[in-house]
Structure 1
Amino acid sequence: MNIQGHPTRRNMLAMTGAGLALSACGGKSGASGALVVGSTATGAPFSFLDIKTNQLTGAMIDIAHAVAAKAALPIRIETTTFAALVPSLTARKIDIVAAGILRTPEREKVVAFTDPVYAYGGGVVVAKAQARPIRTLSDLKGLTVGAQVGTRFVEQLALAGVADVKTYDNLGDILQDLGHGRIAAGYGDAPILAHRLRTAPNPALRLVADFEPPSREDVCLLVRKDDPALLAKLNAAIGQIKTTEIAAILAKWSL
């Protein structure tokens, strides 16, 4: 500052440079410099709303905090619907995605994925009385199957020739309709379906034990393709804590 309390040219340049440095690591960083992490409230155990605290919690929330702390990056969490996660990231409304979202070739064309923190495949839920063997997706042909919009699982059903697919905003609605007999099966994230049936048992439904998903895919944090510096920082942090803190977080959430 000069003696009148106004910024000098040198100070103005310094402040401009600091602002550019903050914006280089994210499009929605606030005055505090915190990066905005988008996640969903309907993906337990990866991310969900804790009704006691009214805050998002779950494995990916814990992992995001652990990775950000290791990378010395301040973050704040915002709730976003699953289908809006990638669009919100590319629109610079958020800077990082931390949710149970799988890495796919189609998504890799749009956003950048960090190194994996977990991997899983799809699971099938049916009525307990359903006697039809379901070992692969092809066995679902001829049935009305529920799947979550914007997920890899809708595409997998189409590729397997399952024509009658009803899409939902979340897995909870799928299980509800399945329980009421409106659909014959639900297909989605195996760990999330297992968690829901474990924490809120429905005696009328079961997870198909001998189903083999067509693939197991990686769960990662997501950033924009034009943010390689942030991607490098996150990957370095993941590499340092994957077998320690991240492994402990996954065990905590029974993953």
Structure 2
Amino acid sequence: MFTRRKLAAGAAALGLVGREVSAQGQTFRVGSTPTGIPFTFLDTRSNTLTGFMVDLIGEVGRRQGFAVDVQATPFAALIASLTSNRIDLIAAAMLATPARREQIDFSDPVYGYGEGAAIRESETRPWRSLADMRGVTAGAQIGTIYIEPLRAAGLEVRTYDSVADIMRDVSLGRIQAGFGDAPIVSYQIAQGTFRGVKLVPDYRPSVVGSIAIGARKGDPVIARVNAGLAAIKADGAFARLVEKWNLPASVD
């Protein structure tokens, strides 16, 4: 199926080290979302999942001697797929929150960021934070951690299956603001994917955290993942991945 692929590590294109993951080692099924540009997404030209987190888990596997079989999984189904043994790892734009840590284990932090607020290009109201947006009709993706903070701040929240659906309704004026992971929204606006919208200038996120790689509770694979991450960060390979995918500086 086009939504699955064996990754040797996307490292060759980066010039990290040109060895493939040993096919003789263990293979882990990795859940990634097809709509989380630039972290994980479906490349329609090659019909394969790609992105920062896909490259990262492939390179971790190469360093640690295991292969990865990346499978397209809706964001809201990632944890359930992991705990029910349909996948073995999660490599996506998933923040390692306390609530999620009750269900699964996470690796050491990978990359930190907060929410971004997208509005119509013609919108000029001086919003700087959620406190300024009480009463605003806003959209957020099902399964993300932004829904409850938005409601607690007094916004009227509508939920959507994807960030693209949110941005469509922002551009059409059906909702006044759309919330999503700031690097994902920023990247896609810059690429021209989301037209008629812009990020709120100088917006201060209220929900800040770090994404990490997920594993089942007690699975020893997380130690191997952490070892691979440490090596990648120490030798500059991580910085090259950040540059490749045009990510802003991590928010720690």
Rounded to whole Å, the distance in 2 between the matches of 1:83 and 1:128 is 29
- Contact 1:223–1:231 under 8 Å retained in 2: yes
Q: Quick one: which amino acid aligns to residue 223 of structure 2?
A: A
Would you say the 8 A contact 2:171–2:195 is kept in 1?
no
Partner SS state of residue 115, structure 1: coil
RMSD: 1.5
Cα distance in 2, alignment partners of residues 203 and 60 from structure 1: 25
Match of 1:35 among 28, 31, 36: 28
Judge conservation of contact 1:126–1:184 (CA < 8 Å) in 2: yes
User: Quick one: which of 161, 166, 183 aligns to 1:191?
Assistant: 183
Q: Does 1:117 align with 2:110?
A: yes
Q: Deviations over 1:190-229 (max 9, x none)?
A: 00000110112555311112100014211110001131x1
1:53 pairs with one of 42, 46, 56: 46
Q: Are the counterparts in 1 of residues 110 and 212 from structure 2 also a CA contact under 8 Å? A: yes
Identity of matched residues, %: 41
* 1:204 and 2:191 matched: no
Kept in 2: contact 1:145–1:165 (CA 8 A): yes
- TM-score, reference length from structure 2: 0.85
Equivalent of residue 61 in structure 2, options 57, 60, 68 = 68
SS in 1 for 2:225: helix
**Is residue 139 from structure 1 mapped to residue 169 from structure 2 by the alignment?**
no
What's the counterpart of residue 240 of structure 1? 231
Unpaired stretches in structure 1, ≥5 consecutive residues: 1-30
TM-score (norm 1): 0.84
**CA positional deviation for 1:33:** 3.8
2:232 partner letter? I
Which one has a larger percent helix, Structure 1 or Structure 2?
1
Q: For 1:79, give the aligned amino acid.
A: A
How far residue 129 of structure 1 moved from its aligned partner, in angstroms, is: 1.6
Number of equivalent positions: 223
Shift of 1:95: 0.3
- CA 201–73 in structure 1, closer or farther in 2 if over 3 Å, else same: closer
Instruction: Render the CA deviation track for 1:124-182: whole Å, top value 9, x for unaligned.
Output: 000122122111112221111000110011122123232x1000111000011111111
Cα separation, 1, equivalents of 2:212 and 2:100: 12
Structure with larger Rg: 1
